[in-house]
Structure formats: C-alpha cells, structure tokens
Structure 1
Amino acid sequence: MRIGFVGAGRMGRPMVERLAGAGHEVRVLGRSAAARTALEELGARPVGRVADVAEGADAVLVCVFSDEQVRDICLGGDLLSAMPGGSVVVLHTTGSPDTATAVADRAAAHGVAVVDCPVSGGPHDIAAGRLTLFAGGAARDVAKVRPALDAYGDPVIHVGGLGAGQRVKLVNNALFAAQIGLLAHAVRLAEQLGVDEGSLLAALPHASSASRALAGVEARGSVAAFAEAVSGFLGKDVDVVRATAKECGGDLGALEAALQALDGVLRTGSA
C-alpha cells in the first residue's frame, strides 16, 4: 500500500519502521533535517508538508498526541483536500468520538473515508507486531486499511461504526485507571494490616489479583510512581471519558470512586 504518516514520534516511529519492513511505500512528515534522516534510515520517504504525505496515498495514518492536534491536522490544514478520492484516514490518537465524526464530515466532501483506530500498548508492542487496535468505521473501510494495520497490530478488532473505536478505548482506559485507584486502596488496607507496599507488590502478581495495572505498579515499585509515570496520557483520556459519559447520559458508577482514588494519589504523591 501507499501510506502517508503524520506523527512519527514515540509510538509513530516504530509503526513507520514496521510498515516499511512489511513492504509498504511510506511517506512520513519530517519537520527537521535530523528527523528526515532518521526516517530515511527506517526505509520511509520523508516529506516536509502534510499535503505531500497525502499525495497518491491509499491511506494516511495520524498518530499524534492530542485531540487538538488531530483537529489541527485534519480540520485546520489541507490534508483531506490533498488525499485521493477513495482513500482512508486512520486516526490512531485517543480522543473524543466527536472529533472522529467532525473529521469524517469534512473528509466526505473529498470522497475520503475515516477509521478511528486508537491503540492499546506501547512501543515494545509495536516492535513485536502485537499492538492492540480498536477500529471503528465501515467494514469496507477497515478492510481497506487492514494490510497496513496488520504490519504492527495484532489483534486488529473491528468494534463497530465510526467513533466506536474511541468509545471502546476510553472505557478501556477508564477501567485501567480505576484499577490503579483500586490498588491504592489495596495498599492502604495492607498497611493497616501491617503489610508494607513492597511486600504486597512482590506477592500479588503471583495470585488471582494479577492484572496489567498491577504489573506496571510492581515494575515501578509503588502505586504513586506508576500513577505519575502514566498520568501524562492517561489523565487526558480519563477527562475525555468523563466528558463523553456526561454528554451521552452514561454513568461511570463504581469506576468514578476508583478514579477519584487515583486523583488522590496524583495529588498527594502517595497511596
């Protein structure tokens, strides 16, 4: 496939490497000379303008940090107008389902489709080809871009129509964040029972309470350290899920109490 790529950073760069390694023709936005040299070494073709990324592309993958950046690239610039009719924009950034809808409305005027496809995992998962992808959009559009997504994603899960990928990812991140909050409560209980946090974290991963959140906490040595490490991306996602739930009349229920516990950890620096 002819792939355009915007956002070759911490997550995007290993995606570009996997895409090029799988034989796709990849054009990537590179702002600086150093960035362009690094992208060439990955087997990609660096370009200096967003419109150049879109030229002749079957799909353009957007993997930037924030919802605001997605809107700036897709709604505030000339990306969509430069894409060929019948091509697809894939939004890897976790954000509001409303952003995916807004981009799709604008893209439709140019004969371009949109797939919202937030990811779960890190650079090491991309490098291993096992990143989890939640794809929302029409089945035909997901099928069009699947050869590209398969370069670094496994599983690639089609979870429903446009916006469904974002909704599933937001629920996933709310649950993950809530689990960290619950661990803060567990550490507090253990200390009340005379067990220190280090001893607790050494034991629980081997028992039925094991989880990905617990593994991360154990690796960092404490709930507070892990919460601080993931707060940069997780905090913005929790804000979005709270806002989305409110807009849609949803109820976070017990998740909200656990999220508030996480808020407390970040505010005080301790469980």
Structure 2
Amino acid sequence: MRVGFVGAGRMGSPMVQRLVGAGHDVAVLGRTDDKRRAAAQLGAQATDDVAAVAAGADVVVVCVFTDEQVTALCLDGDLVAGMRPGGALVLHTTGSPATARAIAGRFGHVDVVDAPLSGGPHDIAAGHVTVFAGGSDDALARVSPLLGAYADPIVHAGATGAGQLVKLINNTMFAAQIGLVAEGVRLGQRFGVDEGRLLEALTHGSAQSRVLSMIAAAGSADAFITAVGEFLAKDVAVVRTTVAELGGDLGELDALVNAGVRT
C-alpha cells in the first residue's frame, strides 16, 4: 500500500519501520531536517509537505501526541481534504471520540478509523501492540492488513468513535489500578513494611495484576507513576472532558484515578 504518515515520534517511528519492512511505500511528514533524516533512515520517503503525504495515499496514518494536534491537522488543516476519494484515515492518537466523528462527518470521501493504542514502542517493534478500532466493517477490513504490520490484536470496538471510548475507559481503569496499588503501598508504609518486599510478595498473591507486576518491576509506585504520568494524565484529562460532555462522572473510580495520575 501507499501510506502517508504523520507523527513519526516515540510511537510512530517503530510503526514506520515495520510498515517499510512489510513492503509498504511510506511517505512521512517531517517538520525539521532532523525529523526528515530520521524518517529516511527508517527507509521512508521524507517530506515537509502535507499535500505530498496525503496525495495518492491509500491510507494516511496519524500518530501525533494530542487531540488538539489531530484537530489542527485534520479539521483546520489540509491533510484529509487532500486525500484521494476512497482512501482511509487511521487515527492512533488517543483523544475525544467527537474529533474522529467530526472528521468523518466533514470528509465523506474517505473512511475514518479511530485506532488508539494500548502498549508502548517495544510492543509496536515486536508487532503486538493492541489497537481498539472504531469504524465500519469495510473500512476496518481494508486497513487491517496494514495495521497488522505492527498491531495484534486489532479489536473492532464498533462505529467511528468507539475505539476512542474503549481506550479512554481502559486508561481510566489503568489509572485506577495504579491508584489502588499506590494506596496499598501507603498502607504498607504505615505498617512498616518495606515497599519492595511488599510489591514482590503481592505479585504471588490474589492481589496480583498486570499493573501490579509493572509497578513491582519499576521498583516503587512513585517511580512507575512518574514514568507514565505525562501520557496517562493527558488521557485521563480527555476522559474527564468526555464524561462531563455526556453529563456523567467517574463515580467511585474518581479518587483512585487521582491517586494513579499524581506526579
């Protein structure tokens, strides 16, 4: 496939590498000389022209950091408008489902698949990052072979926007689980139990979870929260905004989420 790619950074670079390795023709947007050199070293074509990224692409992949950047590129900018009819836009950025739906509503000449990720650069490099995808059956069938270069599983969550909703719920629960472990650690401190020994012991008990193992590997709850805080806080902020727009709240999860995203 001919692929346009925007956002070849921490998460995007290993995607580009795997796409090139799978035989796809990839054009990467690079705003600086350094970014363009890095893209070329991955085997991609590098350009500073948004139109060149969009023109002729079967699929354009967007993997920028914030929802605001997606809006600037896709709604305020010319990226999607310049795509060919019948193309597909894949949004990997975790953001508001309303943004994906707005893009789909404005640009009927392309299919929009919101496809936020669960995992990190090492998962992408290994080809098994999780994708929560929102879009039509036909659109997902078209882009799945491309996403399969770096994603497994690809979970179809529903119509456009559903992938974002599932990812936001996932990250809310992730933050709450971090908060739960952090509260357990504080209880241990009050009892005079060494944190490292406590975390190691709990991984062998009924309190064990994937999050607990990750925190134990980091050595402490504070170390883990510091490592993931920037990314998780961004997503939780989107959760709070989205929930408020729907007239709801996080309920009993709220206090634990606050404990899990502190920096």
- After TM superposition, the score normalised by the length of structure 2 is 0.96
1:180 to 178, 181, 185: 178
Partner of 1:7: 7
Counterpart amino acid of residue 38 in structure 2: A
Counterpart of 1:19, as a letter, is L
* Equivalence for 1:68: 68
Fraction of identical pairs, as percent: 59
Amino acid at match of 1:163: G
Counterparts of 1:85 and 1:233 in 2: how far apart (Å)? 34
How many residues end up aligned between the 2 structures?
A: 263
Query: How does 1:119-134 map onto structure 2 within 5 Å?
Result: 119-134=117-132
Which residue number in structure 2 is paired with residue 16 of structure 1?
A: 16
How far apart, in 1, do the equivalents of 2:64 and 2:163 lie?
16
Three-state SS of the structure 2 residue aligned to 1:3 is: strand
- Aligned runs of 1:48-63 on 2, under 5 Å? 48-63=48-63
Deviation at 1:193, TM superposition (A): 2.8
Query: 1:31-110, aligned counterparts within 5 Å?
Result: 31-108=31-108
Unaligned runs of 5+ in 2: none
CA distance in 2, matches of 1:191, 1:30: 48
Distance 1:10 1:191 in 2: 36
- Write the deviation string for residues 219-253 of structure 1: whole angstroms up to 9, x where unpaired: 22211121111111100111111221222234422
Give the unaligned 5+ runs of structure 1.
267-271
Query: Structure 2: how far apart are the matches of 1:140 and 1:128?
Result: 27
Deviation at residue 2 of structure 1 after TM alignment: 0.8
Pair 1:156-2:145 in alignment: no
| TM-score normalised according to structure 1 size | 0.93
Q: Which runs of 4+ in 1 moved over 4 A?
A: none
* Alignment deviations for residues 6-25 of structure 1 (CA, whole Å, 9 cap, x no partner): 00000000000000100111
* RMSD, aligned α-carbons: 1.3
1:67 Cα deviation after fit:
0.4
AA at the equivalent of 1:242? R
C-alpha separation between the residues in 1 aligned to 2:143 and 2:123?
Answer: 19
Distance 1:219 1:74, change over 3 A: same
1:82 aligned counterpart, secondary structure: coil
Map of 1:269 onto structure 2: none
Amino acid at match of 1:122: G
Q: Which residue of 2 aligns with 1:247?
A: 245
